[in-house]
Amino acid sequence: MRSGSATHSDRPNFLTIIRVALDTPLDFCFDYRWHPEDQAAAAPLVGQLALVPFGSREVVGLIVAVNVETTVPPDKLKDVLAIRSQLSALSDQWRALCVFAADYYQRPLGEVAIPGLPRNLRAIKTTALDRALKKLAKIEALHDATPAQMPVLNPEQQQAVDAIAGAQGFTPHLLYGVTGSGKTEVYLQAAAHVLAHFDDAQILILVPEINLTPQLEGSIRARFPGVAVATLHSSLAEGERMTHWLAAHLGQARIVLGTRLAILASLPKLQLIVIDEEHDPSYKQQEGLRYSARDLAVWRARQLEIPIVLGSATPSLESWQHAQTGRYRMLELRQRAVKAAVLPVVRLIDMEHNKPVDGLTPVLIAALKLRLERGEQSLLFLNRRGYAPVLACDACGWISNCSRCTAFMVLHKPEHRLRCHHCSLELRIPRSCPTCGNVDLQPLGRGTQRVEEGLQAIFPEARISRIDADSTRRKGSAQAAFDSVHRGEVDILIGTQMVAKGHDFKNLTLVGILNPDTALFSQDYRASERLFAQLMQVAGRAGRAAQKEGGSVSQVLIQTRYPQHPLYAAVVNHDYDHFANALLAERQQAHLPPYLYQALLRAEARELEIAIDFLKQAASAVEHAGIIINDPIPMTMTRVANVDRAQLLIECLSRPGLQSFLKIWLAMLRKIKTRAKWSLEVDPVDI
């Protein structure tokens, strides 16, 4: 018999059972039978992707074991449909990262490993994969333009670069640098060092939102023209996502710049990780696998024994604590990098004595006027989009509640709509009160649209631009809006937190902050940490270049009703150190993170009772030493889109203690019969 014609039955050693992780809510992997089409076909490898039947579908999964002993009876065992052999196997290290994340966040492995892959890689047909591989193979040498000049580092920057470049093995650094201190330059020169010292090194740079930081991508490309740079973020087209992911996986891309999802990229030659604005809440995924990209990055650096740099002007308290206790190496940049650029003067405007007109106090209006006369730019920050947060009837007390959520419908005047920001319900603005017929409905409060309207009335000649989620719905429109600010076509920019991050506006000398007070009294214990970071960020947009002759001293004006509040005092003094230390002391006393570890069980149902009832059963399912099980409570915003939501907080003084409890607990939760939909979050940030 010719060897090629061997059948499976008479050559049983050709039969291989492989175990595959699939993106399913079930917490185990599935076994399949593989037999080669011909004898020459290479046996499947752990880390390869395989197309397999699952129920009535065909899906792509990750091979986690080969030659396993299966408990599935032979007649139930299904065949692998295809091995994606054109793609090299995902590395052991990458799989270890997924295994860790799955274990830590208590999710199935497949749910961690598979969704992070480009969609085209998970497709049944391989046309897109084959095309992308061909395209990549053609990319040879890149353009050989002259690299942009490196500025001479100041001594603090140099020290930081030297520390990172000289680091051996796993070395976490906290690059604590005031806004405009040139953290980016430190990243770039540390990257240059790594690229020069390892032939094939890869560097991963994470940023909170890539669309808001195109300057960084520009700087990287200009600085390293001979180096392949790949970006990974959610707004890439599928085709692009695929080639960029492949470039990273194949080691062609030497620098990968991405948002949180890039932390799960395959980077076989990773030598340095940079997390810019490490405190930013967007590093936390808020649905599905609720991971912290920053925490996973630190884990990945430890696993690979490489340095990692966490940069921020206002580090998270977690990282700050690590730096204080010496677990992270602290690198400080205390000065602005541009010579003669100084931190702006921050002033509080007491709204009791300075009554606002159209939301703007006379002091702020005068400051805006001065900037207009001098041809300088101003930024007004208000973290509330729309025209007014509520529409109300004075006559009968009707207010624009959302019929589906515990929330108000927000008035959007230019769009002639009432919009719920939580369930996206939209209504035309009623002409008269739905309850009593009064035609004189009043907007209450103020959003960016209303401030814009007020500004136009006060400064009819000024070029005013509003940047928020509403004004930038079209793809590319945010970029275009920011470009026009950089080109000097805008006198006054008004925006939400979209304008606060990262931008290096050269001609901006005034920042006005409207209405930050609400966060002072939030019941979320993290609110003040976040508010402080946000205020420092937005304040940091002012005075980034040297003061011009006859130009203004750069200034930040905060309109508040609580000018005595210690948080504002810290902002005025640019004093993150004291503020952070005080907050940490408070947290330690009150037994809050980072001195305590938490998990949150969420449940939702059509009726609140169902959700609460499930949580009560969950709370009494198991007792465990050292675990604090709090009472189930409705969430602050209980109803969203006609679904009621409740939560149960679990706390423990030790991370391993919490982890081992969660494993036992989860197994019991799965046995509870309920109509509630539930999910568990480890290290929750929004409680």
Pull the structure tokens for residue 638.
């209980």
Q: Residue 405 touches which of Zn ion, ligand ADP, none (CB < 5 to 8 A by kind)?
A: Zn ion
Q: Is 38 exposed, middle or buried (0-12, 13-18, 19+ CB in 10 A)?
A: exposed
Distance in angstroms (rounded) separating the CA atoms of residues 391 and 420: 12
Pull the structure tokens for residue 476.
């590319």
Q: Based on the shown chain and the rule CB under 6 A, indicate whether residue 182 belongs to the binding site for ligand ADP.
A: yes
Helix (H) or strand (E) holding 599: strand 597-605
Q: Based on the shown chain and the rule CB under 5 A, indicate whether residue 420 belongs to the binding site for Zn ion.
A: yes
Torsion 531-537-543-546 (CA) sign: positive
Q: How far is the CB of 332 from ligand ADP (least distance, A)?
A: 12
Q: Residue 153 touches which of ligand ADP, Zn ion, none (CB < 5 to 8 A by kind)?
A: ligand ADP
Residue 163: which of 399, 328, 279, 312 has the closest Cα?
A: 328
* Contact predicate 332/295, CB 8 Å: no
Q: Residue 368 touches which of ligand ADP, Zn ion, none (CB < 5 to 8 A by kind)?
A: none
User: Which residues sit opposite 559 in a β-bridge?
Assistant: 349
Nearer to ligand ADP by C-beta: 184 or 361?
184
Q: Based on the shown chain and the rule CB under 6 A, indicate whether residue 166 belongs to the binding site for ligand ADP.
A: no
Q: Based on the shown chain and the rule CB under 6 A, indicate whether residue 554 belongs to the binding site for ligand ADP.
A: no
Q: Residue 422 touches which of Zn ion, ligand ADP, none (CB < 5 to 8 A by kind)?
A: Zn ion
Q: Based on the shown chain and the rule CB under 6 A, indicate whether residue 157 belongs to the binding site for ligand ADP.
A: yes
Judged by CB under 6 A, the residue of 23, 31, 111, 185 near ligand ADP is 185
Give the amino acid at 309: V
Q: How far is the CB of 484 from ligand ADP (least distance, A)?
A: 19
Q: Residue 179 touches which of ligand ADP, Zn ion, none (CB < 5 to 8 A by kind)?
A: ligand ADP
Q: Which stretch binds Zn ion (CB under 5 A): 4-12, 173-181, 433-441, 510-518?
A: 433-441
What DSSP letter does each residue of 401-455 carry, written as one string? B-SSSSSBPEEETTTTEEE-TTT--EEEPPSS-TTT--S-EEEES--HHHHHHHH
H helices of 326-381, in order, are 362-374
Nearer to ligand ADP by C-beta: 182 or 208?
182
Residues 278-337 that bind ligand ADP (CB under 6 A): 337
Q: Based on the shown chain and the rule CB under 6 A, indicate whether residue 222 belongs to the binding site for ligand ADP.
A: no
What DSSP letter does each residue of 554-581 carry, written as one string? PEEEEEES-TT-HHHHHHHTT-HHHHHH
Pull the structure tokens for residue 366.
């005068």
Q: Residue 447 touches which of ligand ADP, Zn ion, none (CB < 5 to 8 A by kind)?
A: none
Nearer to ligand ADP by C-beta: 50 or 343?
343
Q: Which stretch binds Zn ion (CB under 5 A): 242-250, 281-289, 388-396, 542-550?
A: 388-396
Q: Alpha carbon of 556 to those of 181, 248, 346: distances in Å?
A: 18, 42, 5
Q: Residue 681 touches which of ligand ADP, Zn ion, none (CB < 5 to 8 A by kind)?
A: none
Q: How many residues bind ligand ADP (CB under 6 A)?
A: 17
Three-class DSSP category at 35 = coil
Q: How far is the CB of 151 from ligand ADP (least distance, A)?
A: 4
Judged by CB under 6 A, the residue of 15, 45, 153, 687 near ligand ADP is 153
Nearer to Zn ion by C-beta: 26 or 396?
396
Q: Based on the shown chain and the rule CB under 5 A, indicate whether residue 402 belongs to the binding site for Zn ion.
A: yes
Q: Based on the shown chain and the rule CB under 6 A, indicate whether residue 601 belongs to the binding site for ligand ADP.
A: no
Distance in angstroms (rounded) separating the CA atoms of residues 190 and 159: 11
Q: Which stretch binds ligand ADP (CB under 6 A): 55-63, 78-86, 145-153, 196-204?
A: 145-153
Q: Alpha carbon of 543 to those of 319, 372, 557: distances in Å?
A: 27, 16, 13
Fill in the per-residue mask, 492 to 521: x = in contact with ligand ADP (CB under 6 A), - = not in contact.
------------x-----------------
Judged by CB under 5 A, the residue of 80, 337, 405, 511 near Zn ion is 405
Q: Which stretch binds ligand ADP (CB under 6 A): 38-46, 175-183, 417-425, 521-529?
A: 175-183
Residues 417-436 that bind ligand ADP (CB under 6 A): none
Nearer to ligand ADP by C-beta: 151 or 218?
151
Distance in angstroms (rounded) separating the CA atoms of residues 508 and 488: 10
Q: Based on the shown chain and the rule CB under 6 A, indicate whether residue 611 belongs to the binding site for ligand ADP.
A: no
**What count of other Cβ atoms lies within 10 Å of the Cβ of residue 77?**
14
Helix (H) or strand (E) holding 157: helix 155-165
Judged by CB under 6 A, the residue of 177, 208, 258, 356 near ligand ADP is 177
Q: Based on the shown chain and the rule CB under 6 A, indicate whether residue 156 belongs to the binding site for ligand ADP.
A: no
Q: Which stretch binds Zn ion (CB under 5 A): 161-169, 398-406, 502-510, 605-613?
A: 398-406
Rg (CA), the chain: 28
Nearer to ligand ADP by C-beta: 544 or 645?
544
Distance in angstroms (rounded) separating the CA atoms of residues 341 and 339: 6
Place of tokens 């990098």: 337
Give the amino acid at 413: K
Q: Based on the shown chain and the rule CB under 5 A, indicate whether residue 102 belongs to the binding site for Zn ion.
A: no
Nearer to Zn ion by C-beta: 99 or 395?
395
Distance in angstroms (rounded) separating the CA atoms of residues 385 and 127: 43
Torsion 191-193-195-199 (CA) sign: negative
Q: Based on the shown chain and the rule CB under 6 A, indicate whether residue 533 belongs to the binding site for ligand ADP.
A: no
Q: Is 429 left (phi over 0), alpha (psi -120 to 50) or beta?
A: beta
Three-class DSSP category at 119 = helix
Residue 226: which of 301, 158, 147, 171 has the closest Cα?
A: 147
Three-class DSSP category at 63 = strand
- Neighbouring residues of 410: CB distance < 8 A, sequence distance ≥ 6: 385, 386, 387, 388, 389, 390, 400, 418, 419, 420, 421, 447
Q: How far is the CB of 337 from ligand ADP (least distance, A)?
A: 3
Q: Residue 279 touches which of ligand ADP, Zn ion, none (CB < 5 to 8 A by kind)?
A: none
Q: Residue 157 touches which of ligand ADP, Zn ion, none (CB < 5 to 8 A by kind)?
A: ligand ADP
Footprint on this chain of Zn ion (rule: CB under 5 A): 393, 395-396, 398, 402, 404-405, 420, 422-423, 425, 433, 435-436, 438
Q: Which residues bind ligand ADP (CB under 6 A)?
A: 151-154, 157, 177, 179-185, 337-338, 504, 544
